[in-house]
Structure 1
Amino acid sequence: MTREVKLNELTALLETATYPLSVATAREEFDDVRLVHADGTEPLAAVLDRIDDEQFESTDEAQSSIYNTIPVEGVGEPGQSEGEG
């Protein structure tokens, strides 16, 4: 079953993992997650495929890398709630 996770729920999801966490392991752990953002949805695994890092040392690092990979349109306009479009 696919889980939908909004951007503002991403931290809670990433906190369920054990760090350091390789990007490959993150793809496996979160292969059932669709990331919901202002520009639509996409599999979290597809977002992770665009990340050049091999490993995340912390939740904050993972979240930062994911946010930097999402298209600007996906983050939405200033003042909008994350993940709601």
Structure 2
Amino acid sequence: MSREVKLNELTELLESATYPLSVAAAEREFDDVRLVYADGSEPLDEVFARLEDEEFTSAEEAQSSIFNTVPVEGVGEPGQSEGEG
């Protein structure tokens, strides 16, 4: 059974891992997680597969790499900020 994780819940998920963590190990550890976007979802291991072969030293570093890989459309409307309004 797969787990669904929203982007704003990603840090908590990644903090459950032991670091340093290689991309290959992250793919295996989170192979049951679907990352939920504003416009759909994608298996988290597929997101990791797009990353260069690297090793994460912290949950924050892993999250930053993931956010740099997530499609802009997945985050929300272009130019939209949760802090505006």
Q: TM-score surpassing 0.5?
A: yes
The aligned counterpart of 1:83 is none
The aligned counterpart of 2:37 is 37
TM-score for the superposition, normalised by structure 2: 0.89
1:60 matched to 2:60: yes
Q: Deviations over 1:33-60 (max 9, x none)?
A: 0000112100000000000142101111
Write the letter of the residue equivalent to 2:41.
Answer: T
Hey, what's the Cα distance between the residues in 1 that align with 2:41 and 2:19? Answer: 26
Hey, what's the Cα distance between the residues in 2 that align with 1:62 and 1:55? Answer: 9
Which structure's CA Rg is the greater one? Answer: 2
Which structure 1 residue ranges, 5 or more long, are not aligned? 81-85
Of residues 55, 58, 81, the one that matches 1:79 is 81
| Root-mean-square deviation (Å) | 1.0
TM-score for the superposition, normalised by structure 1: 0.89
Instruction: Compare relative contact order (CA 8 Å, sep 6+) and give the higher one, 1 or 2.
Output: 1
The aligned counterpart of 1:10 is 10
Structure 1 segments (4+ residues) deviating >3 Å: none
Hey, what's the Cα distance between the residues in 2 that align with 1:14 and 1:72? Answer: 21
The aligned counterpart of 1:50 is 50
Hey, what's the Cα distance between the residues in 2 that align with 1:63 and 1:53? Answer: 15
State the identity %. 71
Which structure 2 residue ranges, 5 or more long, are not aligned? none
Q: In the comparison of the two structures, how many residue pairs are matched?
A: 80
